[in-house]
Chains A and B, each alone.
Chain A
Amino acid sequence: MIDVVTIQWGVAIAYIGACLFLILGQRVEQWDKAALLLTGLALLTHFSMIVVRGLDSGQIPIVTRYEDYTVDAFAVVAIYLLAQWRWPQLRRTGILVLPIAALGVVVALNYSRGVFPMGPALRTNWLIIHAQLNSLAIGFAILTAASSFMLRKDSSGIIGRLMSWTFLSWSAMVAAGSYWASIAWGRFWGWDPIECWSLATILAYACVLHLRFNPAWANGYRSIFTGLIPFGLMMFTTYALVFVMRSVHGQYVFQ
């Protein structure tokens, strides 16, 4: 029987392979189709892996850092596939997006794959809503960042649209977390470091979205640079903040 590590490496290699096909697809279109087919199959395997993990542990697999990275990487690829189906111009962004997802899948393997019981504070549907919106926002954010590097000047509308979806899903994640906090702790907001950085991410995205009304800031290097600021805030808040700052959330996240 093939073990999870082999499957996970297989998924990561498939994403890298699809990325190489997309690079070749710049000259011969057939490679593009092969890339999408391979990505689709890898995503299906990725999804099956998450489902099996959930069935094995008897709980939604978003409790550990291993599970979080795996689910986030899944969201990144799923959103990429859906978005490029809606806007074919985005297909080429897979050259950046797919290796990032592969990296997520491989990094996940560095963390314990043990099954840990969900703490009492996490036994609520709000965890599912909150965490899934977080993964969704990360998926959109990575696609937006990749698009701003790879799309042509005339695709500024698509980048703005993707950024709007990032903003919406991250804001919904914060709103869901706020409601959950009001149930769990009796306060909807506490100006805790994670809460502050999450709000700063929303505000920074709002700022950049408003900035994009000015055509001079909607294209080119200025657009890439300004778009990377909220993206950086989001990545730091999600993956690094609990390691460098004491936060009330630290005792709950990624047991």
Chain B
Amino acid sequence: MFNVTSSTLKIAWKFIASHTLAVWVLALITLAVLGAGTLPQSTRLSPDEQEGWQTEWETTSYWFDTLGISDIVGSWWFAALCVILIINMTAGTIDAFLRKWAFFKGSQKHSHEAQGSGLPPEGITHFIGGSVTTAESTSRIRGTLGLLGLPLAHLGIALIVLASFWRAETGFNDYFELSVSEVFAGETSKLQRRQPLPSELDTLIQLDRVNIEVAEGDYIGELQGFFSFQHKDGLVEQEMVQSNQPLRLGNYELHTQNKFGHSAVFERILPNGSIRKLYINFTVERSEWGKPWSGQKEQAVRFDNAPLYYYMTQTNSEPPTFNLQVNKGRGVIFDGTLEPGDVADLGAYKLRYQGMVPWLGLNLALVKNVTPIFVGFVMTLLGFLLHLLIPSRRVELIIDDKGWHTRAWVASGDAAFEQKWNTWCRQRGAETA
């Protein structure tokens, strides 16, 4: 059996509540966050980029995965550091508050002391709150509200951390690209990270048109998407979405991104006669937007898990041409120029080229449980502001036959009080201790 004495508990509490632990945990979290912002992270890479990283850096990526470095902020050890931080913060705040309270109540040793004969310095009597002429002892605490500042700030930080973990479990945000006349119904394959939606998107989203203006110097003047939305009950609505003005769709929100381009639209005609749309998106430089445009792209297009490799070139000629070469393994199964309406026979299916349309980058977000995070931000900032603007100070003045004697309880580093104190003491030629 362990013999847990009160002194052991005291030592443990002292360590848990210590600044030393705070410094170490903060330093480690800082390094972890810098790593998360600098090293390749699986959460930031698209599946293609992830595949590329794992192929090119096989050993490194293996060790990154093994040690949890490929998703630092999602790793168990990062969560553990955050838990230790919260424990340390809570214990440290309680400990510091109790000590400060005891300090300002005068049950601990004062930080400043002075004495003299005759009348006490004017500043001190003013601080005490009036003229003190007869033999008496008066004390006054100012800035009690300031004592609450750091506890409030730390509580806010704990709230931000906890609410962020909660939000990470329940929230959703992913990027997708939608072409004009394409319909999105929440398909995972359209999303960049290909994560399933946490709840059903009970609205069909169709992009009708875009309004993108690129000003001289490649600056985006306007970027708007005009959409049709069909709700579950069949109701169709039309709305415009633009930056900072998302559209609410049930639990979800639709946001625009500063990304756009041209999409090659095909009809894939399957052997059974059914037709499916295929959109292949080309990124367009801002400087080329709205002008006759040329671009190249290579893309593996999967059908029944068998990839075909498309090599495409859109040429800025008159009329514009779309060159398509399709390879299966090492063999070329189609190589030709397509105009809208032309059909390419790829064996497994036929491909009818329909032309180019614009596409727009969008974010689909599940808006849930974010309020506690912003409440946490406000608490943290307000708490720290209180701490900085309202310094807590206690001054005691004793007057007797011999003269006056004053003591003060002030936090270390209170430069403003230090200045005042020096002025007060100089005023009366006091002896300071």
Contacts and interface: CB of A to CB of B under 8 A. Distances in A.
B243 A120 contact: yes
A161 interface: yes
A252 B26 contact: no
B29 interface: yes
A191 B242 CA distance: 24
A203 B29 contact: yes
Interface stretch (A5-13, A30-38, A45-53, A164-172): A164-172
Given A191-B36, A207-B26, A245-B38, A255 B43 contact: no
What band does the interface of chain B fall in when counting residues whose beta carbon is under 8 Å from A?
35 or more
Interface in B204-263: 215, 217, 219-224, 242-244, 246, 253, 255, 257-259
B23 A123 contact: no
A26 interface: no
B373 interface: yes
A210 to B, nearest CB: 5
A110 B224 CA distance: 33
Interface residues of A, number: 57
Nearest to B376: A175
Contacts of B384: 164, 167-168, 171
A214 B24 CA distance: 13
A87 B387 CA distance: 19
Contact of A120 (B167, B222, B253, B380): B222
Interface stretch (B183-191, B317-325, B342-350, B360-368): B360-368
Interface stretch (A70-78, A94-102, A194-202): A194-202
B315 interface: no
Nearest to A199: B33
A158 interface: yes
Nearest to A251: B258
Interface of B: 19-20, 22-23, 26-27, 29-30, 33-34, 36-38, 41, 43-44, 73, 164, 167, 171, 173, 215, 217, 219-224, 242-244, 246, 253, 255, 257-259, 363-365, 367, 370, 373-374, 377, 380-381, 384-385, 387-388, 412-415, 418
Contact of A165 (B253, B364, B388, B413): B388
B37 A197 contact: yes
Interface string A155-167: 1111011001101
Given A199-B33, A207-B30, A210-B23, A186 B415 contact: no
Contacts of A233: 34
Interface stretch (A17-25, A54-62, A111-119): A111-119
B412 A203 contact: no
Given A119-B219, A172-B381, A203-B30, A124 B388 contact: no
A121 B388 contact: no
Nearest to B373: A188
A185 B44 contact: no
B75 to A, nearest CB: 12
A245 B19 CA distance: 34
